Structure 1
Amino acid sequence: MTTKKLINSVDGCVDDALRGLVSVHSSLRILQGHKIVVREDVEEVKKAGKVTLLCGGGSGHEPAQAGYVGHGMLTVAVAGAVFASPPPSSILTALRYVTKLDSAGCVVVITNYTGDRLNFGLAIERAKREGLKVDSITIGEDCALTSSDRSAGRRGLAGTVLLNKICGALAEEGKSLEEIVKIGRHVTENMGTMGVSLTPCSVPGSGPTFSLGEDEMELGLGLHGEAGVKRTKIKPANEVVKMILDHMTNTSTSTHIKLKAGDKVACMVNNLGGMSLLEMNIIVGEVIKQLEERDVVVERAYCGSFMTSLEMAGLSVTILHLDETIKRCLDAKATVPAWSSPILSRDSSVRSTPLYIPIQEEEEHVKSGNSVRIPKETADMLYDMVKLSMETLISSEEDLNNLDKESGDGDCGSTLARGAKAILKELGQKEKPYLPVDTPAALALSLARIVENSMGGSSGALYSLFFTSASHSLQKDVTMTGWKEALSNGTSTIMRYGGAQPGDRTMVDALFAANSALKTSGSLSSPVQILETVVQATESAAQATASMKAQAGRASYVSADRLKNPDPGAVAVTVWFKAILDIFKNTQE
């Protein structure tokens, strides 16, 4: 059953919400055609030679992140759909708007979710390629994970707001990009967050994201309804706070925060959306009381709705170790809609209609004249490889979906098929192709653009990163050496931003196996023999994922005893490698 919500439409709710925010706060603007909110004085910031600050992510966590745009915090915020990372194209547009070639640069704050790491990473790489000065800080301060081994990583939670506040203050002081990144990373290493939920939330147009009994609560739940660490009967506020603090400081977990007598901290009690002010005041009082009972000095305390999960009735507690620099930055003036602190003032001026800034969209491209072209015969073969690979992925949709059902939401095949259909649509006829099959570097960038816009999610970002990185190697070298380097660079880029390593039960296992097979193929005499070796390696690697423990991606949150089949992403890699091999075989017959 769809949950009641007062919206105009599901598809337009994020745009309407941003418009409302900017309607109230006349110091903010929206970049036309995008879900991007910027400071009205952004040009003055750039002229002053100050570093700009960008953060973003899925909507549904309001006031984060658009509510923190303004003097003393963010320069720009990029919003995605509800609970979905924004597309790299919007992030890149925001980076271009707040950064210029000779500027002090932009610091990007990334919350540690796979989709955000991939999409923001892709935009950062493209911005760097254009000559923009950009660096990033990834925050994952979640203390809920109980495992001591490597996994998909700690989630970025309400501590992101404190990080934005500190980095924003440093930027206003005129600190360099390098200084801000160094201090920001120090902040993330000295912070922890833990949450508890009493009820689920519901995405607009849908029902509750999970279920909890009338008398149940869940400890350590994620912002999107990801499973927590424990379900218990609802307890009094003081017992709930004790459970949270005990887990956060449990030294037997790899995600705990170190806390001892005499430590000076800031604490933030964050309303996840559905808690009453009466409850929040009770909870924050208990948090401060129990920290002081541990002889911890609470020098700064914040309570309010800083990063929500729609209407979820729940809260999170963030603890941050203080030093004089961090405390100075927390106390610095910030003129933004959502930063709640007794030392801050707010501008109450409003206007009825937001002002939009028309922008000129810029398309990333590689000029064919700057890249190596290939003969028509080779271009025709490359066309056939792309065509057959996409057709095979489409025909494998159901099989890949079935594999995905045990570890995800069963849409891996559909996602890949959607991208494949979009590529076929733009490919055109062999006699007059629309895509630049005669220029491999340009083709790779075209494929990156298509999958990014058509597939969406982590898969779209992963393949877009792969093709974008591969294009660099193919710009000057389209020999076997160049293609090997393209595959190697594409794989390493996926690993860097996606966080997966060989053995983590992802598509990386198959790609890494292909790279290894190519490196040892020097003694083989023909491309067919080389590709046969590569296909055998990818198939073996994909099958081997069935017995691996998932350490990255969505499957890492699924119990290991439920994972019995090969990873669908790894299997998909074998599908398109086989298609490439078939084309080589056909040309030699």
Structure 2
Amino acid sequence: MLSGVVAGAVFTSPPPGSILAAIRALTDAGAAAVLLIVKNYTGDRLNFGLALEQAKSESLSIAMVIVSDDCAFTTTSKAGRRGLCGTVLIHKIAGALAEEGRQLEEIVCKVNQASKLIGTLGVCLNPCSVPGSCPTFHLASDEIELGLGIHGEPGIKRTKLTTANEVVKMMIDHMTDPSSQSHLPLSAGNSVVLVVNNLGGLSCLELAIVTGSAIHCLESRHVVVARVVSGTFMTALEMSGVSLTLMVSDDELLRLFDSETRAPAWPATGRTVLTGQTRLIQPSVEETTVVKTFENEASEAVLVRHVLQNVCSSLLALHEELNALDRAAGDGDCGSTHSRAALAIQDWLQTQIIPASYTQLLSALAKVVQEHMGGSSGALYSLFLTAAAQLLRSSSTLVSWADAVHAGTEAIKRYGGAEPGDRTMLDALCPAVKELQKLHSCPSGGEMEVLERAVQQAELGAQSTRELTAQAGRASYIDATRVSQPDPGAVAIAAIFKAILCALRSRP
């Protein structure tokens, strides 16, 4: 790829003397000619241009190409489009041509043609900071910046944080909008090379999610993704962001892109067209009848629906609180996992009639939780619901429900390996179950009082976990002196019991 590189200070063009020294070093090493590949910034153009003129005065064979692949601006100024990550593709193409022994004039012509087929757009969640300085701009926690550069400068649009799929679609729509002077012409049937570039602070997981979203977005527009590379190619220090680069390609450009290189950081790339090879495999789902209205449901089914909706709403409202509690003693996702379960159950409620059999109801909910909640919580809740379902085959009285909850709790203890006192969900669940067992001897009309006491016991049990030393789960690996908040799993259980009680009190 490159035979030499000249670095300036952070976010600053190198001085002409350094550039000229690099040109001379390459010439002394036997280079027949030198091509300067420069990103389109005023300082770079001036300093590299000055070095080029000085090199020419020494009768050196030299040329310069300017890369301007930025698709951010709807109207362009005299400064033109900035040079961004598309420059890396020019490095690859020019290097491949040079390796083949092409003449300087031919290389310049071909890379200038390729530059017109490249577009880049960046987005970030957090800005960067020049070492020793404050962030270059500020974003709220729910905002993203679109169309920013690689030197920490703000973008051209600020919008609300949303999903990766929506952000990627917004980026590609903006890059290819014909009404924008800086757009990349892209049509259905075109073949592209896709570069997903980490601007510095993204994790591999986040980068992979964006890559998948970009591939599917392009394929939905009937664009052929011929090649894709994902990684850290051109950063803005520690910026938490990503840029997408597209190069409309033909057989010749793909051949040059695929050319072997000894550059150690260049990723190993496949040489097959990606489009048509990707498959997103979803868990198998039994065919169901989609029902949009439930006016004719029995009153008991209406009550069940009301209870489930209330539980889901309560868990969704606790999303951030549970995550915060879990960050202190686990991996910080307890609220997220419970929210996934709640959202999945809400989706299920929108398409399903409540089964007449409570065994079927709990079994169906167990399957939803198992498929969508994930983690140990998903497995434990699914075990609970599956075991509880068996106790409701022949009876659905409140006493039967008490026995069902007890059976579910025993299943969690049996398979999870924890006991009350281990600082887990059981510390809220077991006291509530013990109280519910009093339904066996409860006088008629006193059932709601038992349920109220069960909720109180669950809440007291959850709060008691502040004083307990974790013996199970991720919190057991944490220094006990650092764990001073209630266990998030126990808090979630108490919230579920309270939501059920509130729904029963406000039954439709």
**TM-score interval (norm. to shorter):** 0.5 to 0.7
**Is the 8 Å Cα contact of residues 126 and 139 (structure 2) preserved in structure 1?**
yes
**Is the 8 Å Cα contact of residues 227 and 270 (structure 2) preserved in structure 1?**
no
Instruction: Point out which structure has higher relative CO (alpha carbons under 8 A, 6+ apart).
Output: 1
**Is the 8 Å Cα contact of residues 146 and 229 (structure 1) preserved in structure 2?**
no
Please give the alpha-carbon distance, in whole angstroms, between the structure 1 residues aligned to 2:63 and 2:14: 18
Map of 2:187 onto structure 1: 260
CA apart distance, 1:289:
0.7
Map of 2:228 onto structure 1: 301
Deviation string, structure 1 residues 88-123 (Cα, Å, up to 9, x no partner): 000000001112599531111010000000000000
Residue 203 (str. 1) matches residue 134 (str. 2): no
**Is the 8 Å Cα contact of residues 273 and 313 (structure 1) preserved in structure 2?**
yes
Specify which of 184, 207, 216 is matched with residue 289 of structure 1: 216
**Is the 8 Å Cα contact of residues 76 and 98 (structure 1) preserved in structure 2?**
yes
Name structure 2 gaps, 5 residues minimum. Answer: 272-508
CA apart distance, 1:126:
0.2
Specify which of 50, 58, 74 is matched with residue 130 of structure 1: 58
Residue 246 (str. 1) matches residue 181 (str. 2): no
Please give the alpha-carbon distance, in whole angstroms, between the structure 1 residues aligned to 2:124 and 2:87: 19
SS of 1:279's equivalent? helix
CA apart distance, 1:337:
2.5
When the two structures are superposed, what TM-score results if normalisation uses the length of structure 2?
A: 0.52
**Is the 8 Å Cα contact of residues 192 and 248 (structure 2) preserved in structure 1?**
yes
Please give the alpha-carbon distance, in whole angstroms, between the structure 1 residues aligned to 2:178 and 2:27: 42
Structure 2 residue identity aligned to 1:117: R
Residue 185 (str. 1) matches residue 112 (str. 2): yes
Specify which of 30, 47, 53 is matched with residue 119 of structure 1: 47
CA apart distance, 1:229:
1.4
Specify which of 8, 23, 34 is matched with residue 95 of structure 1: 23
Please give the alpha-carbon distance, in whole angstroms, between the structure 1 residues aligned to 2:208 and 2:146: 20
Please give the alpha-carbon distance, in whole angstroms, between the structure 2 residues aligned to 1:151 and 1:112: 11
What's the Cα RMSD here?
A: 1.5
**Is the 8 Å Cα contact of residues 16 and 51 (structure 2) preserved in structure 1?**
yes
Map of 2:484 onto structure 1: none
Map of 2:147 onto structure 1: 220
**Is the 8 Å Cα contact of residues 100 and 132 (structure 1) preserved in structure 2?**
no
Aligned length: 271
Map of 1:170 onto structure 2: 97
Specify which of 79, 91, 102 is matched with residue 152 of structure 1: 79
Residues 286/150 of structure 1: CA separation in 2 closer, same or farther (3 Å cut): same
SS of 2:126's equivalent? coil
Specify which of 254, 258, 271 is matched with residue 198 of structure 2: 271
CA apart distance, 1:225:
2.0
Please give the alpha-carbon distance, in whole angstroms, between the structure 2 residues aligned to 1:294 and 1:244: 14
Residues 102/82 of structure 1: CA separation in 2 closer, same or farther (3 Å cut): closer
Residue 109 (str. 1) matches residue 11 (str. 2): no
CA apart distance, 1:214:
1.2
Structure 2 residue identity aligned to 1:109: I
Residues 239/125 of structure 1: CA separation in 2 closer, same or farther (3 Å cut): same
Deviation string, structure 1 residues 103-159 (Cα, Å, up to 9, x no partner): 531111010000000000000000001100100110010000111x53311010001
CA apart distance, 1:343:
4.9
Matches within 5 A, 1:2-81: 73-81=1-9
Residue 333 (str. 1) matches residue 256 (str. 2): no
Please give the alpha-carbon distance, in whole angstroms, between the structure 1 residues aligned to 2:29 and 2:129: 43
SS of 2:242's equivalent? strand
Matches within 5 A, 1:471-510: none
Structure 2 residue identity aligned to 1:172: E
Please give the alpha-carbon distance, in whole angstroms, between the structure 1 residues aligned to 2:63 and 2:139: 41
Please give the alpha-carbon distance, in whole angstroms, between the structure 2 residues aligned to 1:343 and 1:74: 21
Structure 1 residue identity aligned to 2:93: I
CA apart distance, 1:221:
0.8
Please give the alpha-carbon distance, in whole angstroms, between the structure 2 residues aligned to 1:217 and 1:186: 33
Please give the alpha-carbon distance, in whole angstroms, between the structure 1 residues aligned to 2:159 and 2:86: 25
Matches within 5 A, 1:337-376: 337-343=264-270
Name structure 1 gaps, 5 residues minimum. Answer: 1-72, 345-589
Deviation string, structure 1 residues 357-413 (Cα, Å, up to 9, x no partner): xxxxxxxxxxxxxxxxxxxxxxxxxxxxxxxxxxxxxxxxxxxxxxxxxxxxxxxxx
When the two structures are superposed, what TM-score results if normalisation uses the length of structure 1?
A: 0.45
**Is the 8 Å Cα contact of residues 258 and 269 (structure 2) preserved in structure 1?**
no
Please give the alpha-carbon distance, in whole angstroms, between the structure 2 residues aligned to 1:262 and 1:146: 25
Matches within 5 A, 1:336-485: 336-343=263-270
Please give the alpha-carbon distance, in whole angstroms, between the structure 1 residues aligned to 2:30 and 2:142: 58
**Is the 8 Å Cα contact of residues 38 and 45 (structure 2) preserved in structure 1?**
yes
**Is the 8 Å Cα contact of residues 191 and 257 (structure 1) preserved in structure 2?**
yes
Structure 1 residue identity aligned to 2:227: R
**Is the 8 Å Cα contact of residues 104 and 176 (structure 1) preserved in structure 2?**
no
**Is the 8 Å Cα contact of residues 98 and 107 (structure 2) preserved in structure 1?**
yes
CA apart distance, 1:224:
1.2
SS of 2:9's equivalent? strand
CA apart distance, 1:86:
0.6
Matches within 5 A, 1:549-564: none
Runs of 4+ in 1 over 2 A off after TM superposition: 100-104, 341-344
CA apart distance, 1:205:
1.6
Please give the alpha-carbon distance, in whole angstroms, between the structure 1 residues aligned to 2:114 and 2:88: 12
Bigger Cα Rg: 2
Please give the alpha-carbon distance, in whole angstroms, between the structure 1 residues aligned to 2:268 and 2:89: 12
CA apart distance, 1:260:
0.6
**Is the 8 Å Cα contact of residues 137 and 154 (structure 2) preserved in structure 1?**
no
Residues 289/101 of structure 1: CA separation in 2 closer, same or farther (3 Å cut): closer
Residues 74/236 of structure 1: CA separation in 2 closer, same or farther (3 Å cut): same
**Is the 8 Å Cα contact of residues 103 and 133 (structure 1) preserved in structure 2?**
no
Please give the alpha-carbon distance, in whole angstroms, between the structure 1 residues aligned to 2:126 and 2:51: 35
Map of 1:324 onto structure 2: 251
**Is the 8 Å Cα contact of residues 136 and 153 (structure 2) preserved in structure 1?**
no
Structure 2 residue identity aligned to 1:194: L
Please give the alpha-carbon distance, in whole angstroms, between the structure 2 residues aligned to 1:273 and 1:182: 32
Please give the alpha-carbon distance, in whole angstroms, between the structure 1 residues aligned to 2:31 and 2:73: 40
Please give the alpha-carbon distance, in whole angstroms, between the structure 2 residues aligned to 1:263 and 1:101: 41
Please give the alpha-carbon distance, in whole angstroms, between the structure 2 residues aligned to 1:136 and 1:157: 17
Please give the alpha-carbon distance, in whole angstroms, between the structure 2 residues aligned to 1:125 and 1:328: 33
Residue 85 (str. 1) matches residue 9 (str. 2): no
**Is the 8 Å Cα contact of residues 101 and 132 (structure 1) preserved in structure 2?**
no
